[in-house]
């Protein structure tokens, strides 16, 4: 399974909200595990305030309790988690963009190192490009020649699907300038792949 990071915050918060709303009993540590320090303090403060309200209030019936603002621990937890979920979007966007950027940098490094190594060993430029793309495949990254290689295991498929979601999410939140840069890069890679295909046809 992919390692949990800040790109999973919304999903983890939603799971806890769904569990609480379904009536499941959730340990305090499991609630705190999906909240940051400030949100944990906020939850603790609201629980203490509710205890104080209940001690001071003379409410007896459900109607009186509702009118006085009584809430259960579960209700307070759900409210705090929902606020945390609403706040998670901005933080997650930065995490998604960083993940995409890191993946692109790692892919470029692997590709260039493999290409240079292949050329030094005497391979032609075309063979070196193929060698470098194969290195990307072995690393579980998208190839630069546009070829799609089948997933070798369920984990490979899961990782590939996660990468696709990351890219889709990041693209939907990119500025026009960022999108233009990505589109220019994709166009360049398609042109490179097309030129290689033409050269292959000429040598066949």
- Whether 39 is in a domain gets the answer yes
Task: Give residue 1's pLDDT.
Answer: 36
- Whether 186 is in a domain gets the answer no
- Whether 139 is in a domain gets the answer yes
- Whether 142 is in a domain gets the answer yes
Taking the C-alpha atoms of residue 48 and residue 94, their distance in angstroms, rounded to an integer, is 34
**Which has the closest alpha carbon to 164: 184, 140, 130?**
140
Looking at residue 174, what DSSP letter applies?
-
Task: Give residue 89's pLDDT.
Answer: 66
Give me the domain span that covers residue 36. 6-173
Model pTM score? 0.46
- Whether 201 is in a domain gets the answer no
- Whether 195 is in a domain gets the answer no
- Whether 140 is in a domain gets the answer yes
Residues of the chain with pLDDT under 50: 1-5, 204
Number of domains in the chain: 1
- Whether 145 is in a domain gets the answer yes
Task: Give residue 169's pLDDT.
Answer: 65
């Amino acid at each position: 399974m992919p390692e949990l990071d800040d790109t999973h915050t919304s999903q983890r918060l939603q799971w806890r909200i769904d569990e609480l709303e379904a009536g499941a009993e959730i340990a305090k540590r499991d609630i705190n595990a999906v909240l940051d320090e400030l949100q944990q303090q906020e939850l603790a403060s609201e629980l203490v305030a509710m205890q104080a309200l209940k001690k001071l209030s003379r409410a007896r019936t459900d109607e009186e309790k509702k009118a006085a603002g009584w809430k259960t621990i579960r209700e307070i937890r759900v409210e705090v988690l929902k606020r945390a979920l609403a706040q998670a979007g901005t933080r997650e966007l930065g995490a998604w963009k960083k993940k995409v950027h890191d993946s692109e940098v790692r892919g470029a490094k692997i590709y260039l190192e493999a290409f240079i190594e292949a050329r030094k060993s005497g391979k032609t430029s075309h063979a070196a490009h193929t060698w470098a793309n194969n290195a990307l495949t072995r690393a579980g990254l998208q190839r630069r020649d546009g070829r799609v290689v089948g997933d070798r295991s369920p984990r490979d498929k899961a990782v590939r699907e996660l990468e696709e979601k990351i890219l889709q999410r990041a693209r939907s939140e990119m500025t026009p300038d960022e999108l233009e840069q990505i589109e220019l890069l994709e166009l360049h890679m398609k042109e490179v792949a097309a030129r290689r295909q033409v050269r292959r046809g000429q040598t066949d």
